[in-house]
Each structure stands twice: as structure tokens, then as C-alpha cells.
Amino acid sequence: MRILHTADWHLGKIVNGVHMTDDQAFILDEILQIIDSYQPDIMIIAGDLYDRSIPPKEAVELLSKVITNITVEKRLPLFAISGNHDSPDRLGFGTALFRSQELYMATKIEEALSPIALNEVDGKVEVYLIPYLEPSEVRQYFDDENIKTHQTAMEKIVETIHETKDKNARQIVVAHTFLAGGMETDSEDRLTMIGGTPYVNASIFEEFHYIALGHLHQPQKITQDYIRYSGSILKYSFSEANHQKSVAIVDIDKAGKCEIEKVPLKPIRDMRKIEGYFHDFLDGTTLKPTEDYLHIGLLDDGQLINPIGKLREYYPNILRLERVVKNKDQQTQDINMIRKKQKMSHLQLFQAFYEEMKGDTIPPKRNTYIEKVIDKLHQEERRK
């Protein structure tokens, strides 16, 4: 049985003020061609189909067109879940109606626990679709006060699946979550940190046959070859400049063993960082004229007149232009401090703020209170 695994489409994404819709339409067209070449038996999209709860109408139109092509024209069964960027209610519209066309879209916890059974020529396969869920939703559903973190929430779900699964079948699990050890970029949004960590241990998934993951934008396996992030379809920040984006083609044999091929995606416009001197850019020594999305670092020391205007004649899609000043200790320190803060959770940021204001660490009671407030705000934001 052959699977095409992709994730993190982020339709409607705006990067540095630029709408990525054309780039997304181009790359999705490439995925349609990969379907034709590789002829998978099913396709998986592991969450974050949209970039936000209320996507722009162009994104809605594009998703509608692509999934219609896949399911109605190509007749390829499609399995998808909502990610932390999607609105479960909006993405969940009419999903019961989609099932007859073999489009299985899961956005609620109930749907995570009842698998879709596939009767393949080499035996039965069960697909479990676990959408992104807040720990509090899982706690409420199971009425279990011990569920406080993403780890305990996922443990409970996995445990329930193991109790009810068909032991003679192979299991494919689709999830949108942050596995410990995974490599992050600047474009995954922070997950809730209630309990102190957004991570889930990969080990809890080891007894399934393939785990199709979404959330992290870099294609990567975590601990096992069959526990895998397909990565996003495009580079969505300059921290992803060195990625090679791809989809995963997974062949599962009768015993449940997987062979995996990463099929590279070639964007219409690449996203990259490049440094050099102003005049070497202008005469094309450093870089030939290109429509790629660029983060240009200028090494020049002296004054430059209208550098962005002049560079745009050759490189129309410069998204960032910086003067690179080497060996300035204070600057480096400042940047390091900002980088450190960018990696802090909302709770950690508040703790640091409290310390700076009050000259003392936050007492446990207040800490618990602010933890709850952050959780509440986070959920409200997501539930829009």
C-alpha cells in the first residue's frame, strides 16, 4: 500500500507582506503531478491546511479546487486533520457529506478515536485521524484531571486507540503535534505550554506502523524512520532557507514495514539568504537577477544611496535588506537576547517581565493564575 504524506500547507499565508497564494497554487499543482507519477493508494494532509482561523477567500477557493481535483477527478481517498492554525468548526463544515467521496476530514476529538478501515489486497489497514487538540479539550472529554499537558493528553488518546484497535490490522496514525527532539523554525506558532512543555515523546507512537505528522516545517523523522514529519510545502520564513521541501511517499508492506522516499518540491520562487557587497549585487557577480524571495545582507561599511530601490530593479522580491556589521559585541549581544526571548513561552515571558518589574520571582499561586489566563486567551484566540 502506497501513501502520499504532506502537511502544513498554510493556505492564505502572508510572508513579510507578500500573499503566497500564487506560490501555493503552483506547488499544489506539482503535488497533483506527483500523484499522477507515483499513483498512491491514499493521500494524507497532517494539519494546518489554512494559515488562520478565517482564511482569505482566495485560500478557500484554492483548497476547494485542489481537494475536488484529488477526490472527484483523481478518485484518490484523502485523509486530513485540522492543525493548530485551522478553525475546527470552519474546516469541519459538511465533513459528514464528504465521506461518501472518500474525503475524511477530522477536526474533533471523537473522530480521533474511531478509525477509518481500509480493506487492501494485502490485508486490513486502520487510519486514525488525531486533529490538533488543546490538553484542556482532552481533559474535558475523558473527564480526567490528570490530563494537563500535551504529553498526558496524547498518552490518553494513544492508550484508548490501543485498547480498541484491530490487532490483526496495520495502523496508520495522523497527528498534528510537536514531538520532542524535532527541529523547529520561526514559522510554527507557539503551542500552549500548560504544564511547562509543548512536547510529546515520540516513543508513545512506536507500536503503530506509520505516523504521519504535521506541525514542524522541516521534513524529518523522529527516532524512527516511520515516525515522520513531511514538512511544509513551501519555505514560510528565512529560518527555512536551507530546507529541501518534499512530500513523503511511503510504501507499507504486508507486515507493516515502511519504505520511504522523499520526493522534492520545486517552488516557482525560492526563498534564500545571501550576503555580499552592494556593487557585486548590481553587476550580478554575487547573484544573477532573480524573482526569488531574498533576504539580502550588505557587507558595505560606507553610505549607500537608495540601496533597496536600486537592488529591486534586479531582485524584485527582496523581503528583507540588512546591513551586516561584523564584530560589534553589543549588537551581537542584543540580537542574542532577542533571539532568546523569541524562544521563550508566553509564561516564561511573563515570568521575566514580573521579575523585572517586582525584583523578585513570581510566587507559585500567581504563577498558576497567569498560566490559566494564558491558556484561556490561547483557546479563545483559536476558537474564533
Strands (E), 98-150: 103-106, 116-120, 123-130
- 379 near its own copies (CB under 8 A): no
- 222 near its own copies (CB under 8 A): no
For the stretch 168-207, what's the b/e string if a residue is b when 16 or more beta carbons lie within 10 angstroms of its beta carbon?
ebbbbbbbbbbbeebeebebbeebbbbbeebbbebebbee
> According to CB under 8 A, which residues from 64 to 83 bind its own copies?
64, 67-68, 71-72
Among the listed ranges 11-19, 51-59, 119-127, 319-327, the one in contact with its own copies (CB under 8 A) is 51-59
Pick 64 or 333: Cβ nearer its own copies? 64
Asked if 216 and 188 touch (Cβ cutoff 8 Å), the reply is: yes
- 382 near its own copies (CB under 8 A): no
For the stretch 65-75, what's the b/e string if a residue is b when 16 or more beta carbons lie within 10 angstroms of its beta carbon?
ebbeebbeebe
CA gap 158, 162 in Å, rounded: 6
- 57 near its own copies (CB under 8 A): yes
Among the listed ranges 86-94, 219-227, 287-295, 350-358, the one in contact with its own copies (CB under 8 A) is 86-94
How much of the chain is helix, strand and coil, in % rounded to 5? 35, 25, 40
Q: How far is the CB of 100 from its own copies (least distance, A)?
A: 5
Pick 33 or 100: Cβ nearer its own copies? 100
Asked if 231 and 183 touch (Cβ cutoff 8 Å), the reply is: no
CA gap 185, 190 in Å, rounded: 11
- 172 near its own copies (CB under 8 A): no
Among the listed ranges 26-34, 91-99, 152-160, 358-366, the one in contact with its own copies (CB under 8 A) is 91-99
CA gap 48, 187 in Å, rounded: 12
Pick 57 or 365: Cβ nearer its own copies? 57
Q: How far is the CB of 53 from its own copies (least distance, A)?
A: 8
CA gap 318, 298 in Å, rounded: 13
| Pure H helices in 192-328 | 278-282, 307-312
Q: Residue 324, Cα to own-chain centre: how many angstroms?
A: 30
Q: How far is the CB of 291 from its own copies (least distance, A)?
A: 28
Q: How far is the CB of 62 from its own copies (least distance, A)?
A: 10
User: From residue 92 to residue 121, what is the string marking binding to its own copies with x (rule CB under 8 A)?
Assistant: xxxxxxx-xx-x------------------
User: From residue 4 to residue 43, what is the string marking binding to its own copies with x (rule CB under 8 A)?
Assistant: ----------------------------------------
Q: Kindly determine how many residues on this chain lie close enough to bind its own copies according to the rule CB under 8 A.
A: 26
Q: Which residue has the cell 480498541?
A: 164
CA angle (53, 55, 61) in 5-degree steps: 135
Q: How many CB atoms lie within 10 A of CB 128?
A: 25
Among 63, 118, 227, 296, binds its own copies (CB under 8 A): 63
Among the listed ranges 43-51, 63-71, 148-156, 338-346, the one in contact with its own copies (CB under 8 A) is 63-71
Among 2, 19, 90, 310, binds its own copies (CB under 8 A): 90
Q: What is the DSSP string of 320-363?
A: EEEE--TT-HHHHHHHHHHHHHHTS-HHHHHHHHHHHHHSSPPP
> According to CB under 8 A, which residues from 201 to 220 bind its own copies?
none
Q: How far is the CB of 13 from its own copies (least distance, A)?
A: 18
Among 25, 35, 60, 304, binds its own copies (CB under 8 A): 60
Asked if 252 and 1 touch (Cβ cutoff 8 Å), the reply is: yes
CA distances from 162 to 59, 114, 165 (A): 37, 12, 5
- 383 near its own copies (CB under 8 A): yes
Q: How far is the CB of 69 from its own copies (least distance, A)?
A: 9
Q: How far is the CB of 106 from its own copies (least distance, A)?
A: 14
Q: How far is the CB of 28 from its own copies (least distance, A)?
A: 16
**Residues in the site for its own copies, rule: CB under 8 A?**
54, 57-58, 60-61, 63-64, 67-68, 71-72, 87, 89-90, 92-98, 100-101, 103, 383-384
